[in-house]
């Protein structure tokens, strides 16, 4: 899932996206989201019914980065807070620095600066 603030409206409460992510995850395929893309993850569950991000090392746009761009009011929730609330093991770099987490086949990137390393992590999971 790509980032951008449009995901705040399109990804966080989307039954089709939820179903697709859960199906891909259950099939042991790569699920990947960068920047605001992880807005799609809190609604998703593992096959056992627990939150998809629970006990997973994850990242996404930091609360301080959201405050820095002044767009907190358009977000349904602050991503860092929500990932932690859902039981994710949230990791981060300093604001605007690249950071990518890979936990099994779940790949997350913190912000736009993470895009290159995020793509490389996905490619490495897909390469034989």
**Could you give the residue numbers annotated as active site?**
35-36, 66
Q: Are 91 and 57 in contact (CB under 8 A)?
A: yes
For residue 123, what is the DSSP state? H
Give the three-class secondary structure for 8.
helix
Give the three-class secondary structure for 40.
helix
Integer Cα distance of 44 and 74 in angstroms: 21
Q: Is 17 left (phi over 0), alpha (psi -120 to 50) or beta?
A: alpha
Nearest to 79 by CA among 18, 92, 23, 115: 92
Which residue carries 């992510």 as its tokens? 21
């Amino acid at each position: 899932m790509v980032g951008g603030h449009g995901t705040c409206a399109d990804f966080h409460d989307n039954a089709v996206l939820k179903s697709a992510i859960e199906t891909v995850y259950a099939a042991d395929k790569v699920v990947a989201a960068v920047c605001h893309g992880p807005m799609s993850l809190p609604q998703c569950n593992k096959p056992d019914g627990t939150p998809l991000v629970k006990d997973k090392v994850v990242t996404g746009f930091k609360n301080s980065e959201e405050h820095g761009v002044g767009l907190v009011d358009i977000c349904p929730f602050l991503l860092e807070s929500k990932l932690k609330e859902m039981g994710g093991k949230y990791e981060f770099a300093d604001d605007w620095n690249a950071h990518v987490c890979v936990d099994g086949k779940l790949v997350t990137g913190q912000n736009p600066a993470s895009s290159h390393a995020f793509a490389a992590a996905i490619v490495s999971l897909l390469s034989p």
